[in-house]
Amino acid sequence: MGIPRIAVFTGDPAGIGPELVVKLLADTERCGRANIVLIGQKKTFSTPTSVKWHEWPGLHADEFETAKAQASNGQFMLEGLAQGAQLASSGEVDAFCFAPLNKGALRLGGMHQEDELRWFAENLHHSGVCGELNVLDDLWTARVTSHVPLRQVSALLSPEKVAQAIAMLHHALRASGLVAPRIAVCGLNPHNGDNGNYGDEEARVIGPGVQLAAQSGCVADGPFPADTTFVRAIRKPDGYDGVVTMYHDQGQIAMKLMGFERGVTVHGGLPIHITTPAHGTAYDIAGKGVAHPGAMFNAFDLACRLGQHRMSTQL
């Protein structure tokens, strides 16, 4: 079957992305797991002969000012993302992995969506369910709501959306190689609502959502009190492969506390496989050569796994 083809984009040229990719390419054993198509500025660094540069308008772009969010680097990032998405959607590569982005620069550069996931969905003309998945080693998370004010979360929850988040995580875990994923679902309120004393979303919305997902073959347990769900998940051998949370920080605080420099974000539900480090562009250390490459390595490794799965399903 061979090895997957992976498009790698250097991300925000004003941040730590280019140096992370330099460190990735220096790991010849890791890079040997894929045929890499590199999207970036050719003048910023040399590459191994095994890496193929992608011809695109930004290939010979001028240097960008380090640690500054501007329209110019935002436009560069949007064009790089468009190139990677096109390569993946056309089948020229099996997955797309990009280094960290700066949302402020993306907006200055013309992105009007709430985040790059929604930008990808619009760019790919995808109208189905999609959402951000976060991965730390063998633990994955999905969330029902994402980049919205906390005061809006309860009103945005519904059984259908809970079921969709469970299904999205279920199918992503299957694509990563798990035959029968085990998924836990968080409640919303303190002590899981305490039988309605602190809120009724667990009984009224989340529980029915778990049951609805099970009807489509996507089985999950819960809802569990959110402050113990991750404790349940990481206990081995009876833990969980994935956790569905109700809002952004409910899962992100736990995941980043357990492994900030290892976490990966997967853009779930899209018709192509996309991965990226879960951390940001770290303008405070950009250009100093001290950025930790762990999450970038993990994002690339996961892109290889997902790309390999895509290859196997096409046989």
Say what the pLDDT of residue 195 is. Answer: 95
Residue that is written with structure tokens 């996507």 in the block: 218
Within 13 Å and on the Cβ side, how many CA atoms surround 179?
A: 0
DSSP assignment of 138-178: TEEEEESS-SS-GGGHHHH--HHHHHHHHHHHHHHHHHTT-
Q: How many C-beta atoms surround the C-beta of residue 32 within 10 A?
A: 12
Say what the pLDDT of residue 315 is. Answer: 62
Amino acid at 86: Q
Say what the pLDDT of residue 12 is. Answer: 98
Say what the pLDDT of residue 122 is. Answer: 96
Per-residue pLDDT of the chain (315 residues; tens, 9 = 90+): 799 999 999 999 999 999 999 999 999 999 999 999 999 999 877 878 789 999 999 999 999 999 999 999 999 999 999 999 999 999 999 999 999 999 999 999 999 998 899 999 999 999 999 999 999 999 999 999 998 999 999 999 999 999 999 999 999 999 998 999 999 999 999 999 999 999 999 999 999 999 999 999 999 999 999 999 999 999 988 899 999 999 999 999 999 999 988 999 999 999 999 999 999 999 999 999 999 999 999 999 999 999 998 888 876
Q: How many C-beta atoms surround the C-beta of residue 123 within 10 A?
A: 17
Within the chain, strands assigned E span: 5-9, 35-39, 52-53, 95-98, 131-136, 139-143, 183-186, 221-224, 242-245, 264-268, 274-277
- What CATH class has 138-261? alpha beta
Task: Please state, in angstroms and rounded to a whole number, the distance separating the CA atoms of residues 168 and 144.
Answer: 10
Q: Comparing 1-136+262-315 with 138-261, is the CATH topology the same?
A: yes
Task: Please state, in angstroms and rounded to a whole number, the distance separating the CA atoms of residues 270 and 23.
Answer: 28
- What CATH class has 1-136+262-315? alpha beta
What are the extents of the domains in the chain?
A: 1-136+262-315, 138-261
Say what the pLDDT of residue 314 is. Answer: 75
Task: Please state, in angstroms and rounded to a whole number, the distance separating the CA atoms of residues 185 and 241.
Answer: 11
